[in-house]
Structure 1
Amino acid sequence: MSTTSRPRHQGRPAADSLVLDTRSITRTPGAMTQVRRAAVLPSSIGVELIRIPEGDEVDLDLDLTFVEEGVLVTGSVAGCAEVECARCLGEFTTEVSVDLTEMYAAEGTAAAAGVEQDEVRLLDGDLLDLEPALVDAFGLEFPMSPTCTDYGHSGCVNPDTPAPDGVSGDTEGRIDPRWAGLAEKFADPGTDEGAR
């Protein structure tokens, strides 16, 4: 869990922000409010080959529950990720979602001590910032080397890519697109095609 220091927020957050205002929750343990809306990402979330781009919307489906030492956030967040297959280098988009269970402790409470041990997050006054929690959650959910078949495709979206076993019955004479740049660079000057 990331505890990087972030600037304090001033005033009320925008209606499409990942910063949530908890002032609408009655300050009685167990009191709850629901957040069902879209929010715009201020920066991209993900890893090198799979990410939800900056400026895209994610759908929040969250319950905010007041507890004695802060606010408990539970629910899910969904969006559309851009994926580059680690095998064929083909690009596509896919729906992604994560489940959240995050405790945001109020400053000065015993629970706030858990911030240093990465056990809880800290409220910024009456505001809570979901972005660091989403960075962590999607970062754990996304594979480092996604492939087309990881996301429901029967094969690679780039048809020129050989099968995973390296055998492709109808690709004789074709160069694997992943190595095409090398084939051009090291092409035999006496032929029109790269070395095979």
Structure 2
Amino acid sequence: MSENHAVAQSARSGPWVIDTRDVGRRAGASRTYTRNPVAPAGFGLDMIRVPEGETIDLDLLVEAVVEGVLVSGTAGAPLVGECSRCLDPITDAVEVDLRELFAYPDSATDESTDEDEVSRVVDELVDLQPLVRDTMLLALDPSPTCSPDCQGLCAGCGVKWAELDPQHTHETIDPRWAALQERFGGTEEEN
């Protein structure tokens, strides 16, 4: 078997791909799938993501409809990231509902929609990865926090506010007076 044929064969199978021939084209025919693909690199946002190699749980119903196949169900995965306020590590989980029509080639959908407006069945196959990735990305908080009341870091010293004394402050000098303080020393109040 040639290397190109092996790559093409693996692209035609695997946990992200559903062969619609298993469902059939008769409208109303359906089949359930439980899949556990692993997350590729970059499956998330800057501050929160599904770890590379982590299992994503897919519970799906694939139904044949007149225009194509309708995929519905859920996808769930663990999340890791950093708190956007204090940068502490956080762990969480995400579960999303999926629902997407994959149109058959040369269906009436081709005439009524733009090329990138609807997902397509290609060579009788449906690739679930873009659907799951996009749906999960929309569900993620771009600014996750370790707790709703996280106060973040002190802008002056970079220490977590939760670890600082309640009276913690930093002396701030009006930049217009800074040159005088350098010349004569002392604090603004002393001069």
Q: Same fold (TM over 0.5)?
A: yes
Q: 2:131 aligns with which of 130, 133, 143?
A: 133
Query: Contact (CA 8 Å) 1:84, 1:91: kept in 2 or not?
Result: yes
Superposed displacement of residue 129, structure 1: 0.9
Which structure 1 segments of 5+ residues have no match? 1-8, 176-196
Please give the alpha-carbon distance, in whole angstroms, between the structure 2 residues aligned to 1:21 and 1:93.
34
Superposed displacement of residue 137, structure 1: 0.9
Q: How does 1:112-151 map to 2 (within 5 A)?
A: 112-113=110-111, 116=114, 118-149=116-147
Please give the alpha-carbon distance, in whole angstroms, between the structure 2 residues aligned to 1:115 and 1:53.
35
Query: Contact (CA 8 Å) 2:85, 2:150: kept in 1 or not?
Result: no
1:13 corresponds in structure 2 to: 13
1:171–1:114 Cα change, 3 Å: farther
**Equivalent residues, number:** 157
Q: 2:43 aligns with which of 20, 37, 45?
A: 45
* Bigger Rg, structure 1 or 2: 2
The structure with the greater share of residues assigned to helix is 2
Superposed displacement of residue 23, structure 1: 1.6
2:127 partner amino acid: D
Q: Per the alignment, in what secondary structure is the counterpart of residue 149 of structure 1?
A: coil
Query: Contact (CA 8 Å) 1:58, 1:78: kept in 2 or not?
Result: yes
Query: Contact (CA 8 Å) 2:30, 2:62: kept in 1 or not?
Result: yes
Q: 1:87 aligns with which of 85, 88, 91?
A: 85
Q: How does 1:1-196 map to 2 (within 5 A)?
A: 10-11=8-9, 12-14=12-14, 17-113=15-111, 116=114, 118-149=116-147, 161-162=160-161, 170=165
1:182 corresponds in structure 2 to: none
Please give the alpha-carbon distance, in whole angstroms, between the structure 2 residues aligned to 1:103 and 1:90.
40
1:89–1:128 Cα change, 3 Å: same
Please give the alpha-carbon distance, in whole angstroms, between the structure 1 residues aligned to 2:70 and 2:151.
41
Please give the alpha-carbon distance, in whole angstroms, between the structure 2 residues aligned to 1:115 and 1:90.
45
Q: Deviations over 1:133-154 (max 9, x none)?
A: 122211211121111126xxx7
Please give the alpha-carbon distance, in whole angstroms, between the structure 2 residues aligned to 1:129 and 1:96.
21
Superposed displacement of residue 56, structure 1: 1.6
TM-score, normalised via structure 1 length? 0.69
Q: CA RMSD in A?
A: 2.8
Superposed displacement of residue 120, structure 1: 1.6
Q: Deviations over 1:96-117 (max 9, x none)?
A: 1111111101111111346626
Please give the alpha-carbon distance, in whole angstroms, between the structure 1 residues aligned to 2:160 and 2:111.
52
Please give the alpha-carbon distance, in whole angstroms, between the structure 2 residues aligned to 1:77 and 1:114.
29
1:187 corresponds in structure 2 to: none
Runs of 4+ displaced beyond 4 Å: 154-158, 171-175
TM-score, normalised via structure 2 length? 0.71
